[in-house]
Structure 1
């Protein structure tokens, strides 16, 4: 995974060169946060880059998404 300069604009050429590697890492199961940490960029930058990529379908958020059941009065 290439380490990118933080808080500097990337030229379209650099972004086009890096995007397939980032997309492949995401499609292999890595999270956006892990990819952001490895590249040295922010979560938002990485998310935006992946959302603009036609080869990537973003996964839903993880974690516990069950609703709490209410106790019935007996």
Structure 2
């Protein structure tokens, strides 16, 4: 018995466009891609691709840089 879940592909069309737009809105409001992965149950790559398709502006990786106090 396989532990993998079946593929969750969205064919091109209004459903995919709506999901991509919803994810873009949440991402640009501050949600991380990983948070969107948890919310939707999709893979990191799948969420990233939907955000790309929706022309989301990606943030740089990582948090703020730390200053070393001398």
- So what's the TM-score if we normalise by structure 2? 0.73
Q: Which has the larger radius of gyration?
A: 1
Residue segments in structure 1 that go unaligned for 5+ positions in a row? 69-74
Contact 2:17 2:54 in 1 (8 A): no
- So what's the TM-score if we normalise by structure 1? 0.70
Corresponding residue number in structure 2 for 1:72: none
Cα distance change, pair 37–53 in 1 and its aligned pair in 2 (3 A): same
Contact 2:33 2:48 in 1 (8 A): yes
How many positions carry a matched residue from both structures?
63
- CA RMSD, 1 decimal: 2.2
Corresponding residue number in structure 1 for 2:24: 23
Runs of 4+ displaced beyond 3 Å: 63-66
